Amino acid sequence: MRKLVLAILLIVGLLFMAGCGTTHYTVHMRSGEKLTAVGEPEYKKDANVYIYKNTKGQRIAIQKDDVEKIVENLD
């Protein structure tokens, strides 16, 4: 019985961790370049820029006019 409870707790814990992963987005630039954002890019209307964190943890700002589209990675 104890092993069954431990197995259930382990499975629930693994499912919880899988559901809390960070979502990545691909930013398609008008130049053809593709950038990876960790988390959803934030649009700053007053400055007309998107701000995002790259895979190295750096905060990057890019002009909205240079962005073609932003797509959530579903994998």
Chain segment 15-70, per-residue pLDDT in tens: 555 555 679 999 999 999 999 999 999 999 999 999 999 999 999 999 999 999 99
At 70 the pLDDT is: 97
Range of the domain at 67: 23-75
Query: Could you tell me if residue 17 is inside a domain?
Result: no
3-state secondary structure of 65: helix
Q: How many Cα atoms within 13 Å fall on the side-chain side of residue 71?
A: 10
Residue 29 burial by Cβ neighbours in a 10 Å radius (0-12, 13-18, 19+)? middle
Amino acid at 74: L
Asked whether residue 35 is assigned to any structural domain, the reply reads: yes
Answer whether residue 7 shows pLDDT above 90: no
Residue 52 lies in a domain: yes
> Is 60 a domain residue?
yes
Number of folded domains in the chain?
1
Instruction: Give the phi and the psi of residue 18 in degrees, each rounded to 5.
Output: -65, -35
The answer to whether position 12 is within a domain reads no
| Domain assignment present for 43 | yes
Given a contact cutoff of 8 angstroms between Cβ atoms, the answer to whether 36 and 22 are in contact is no
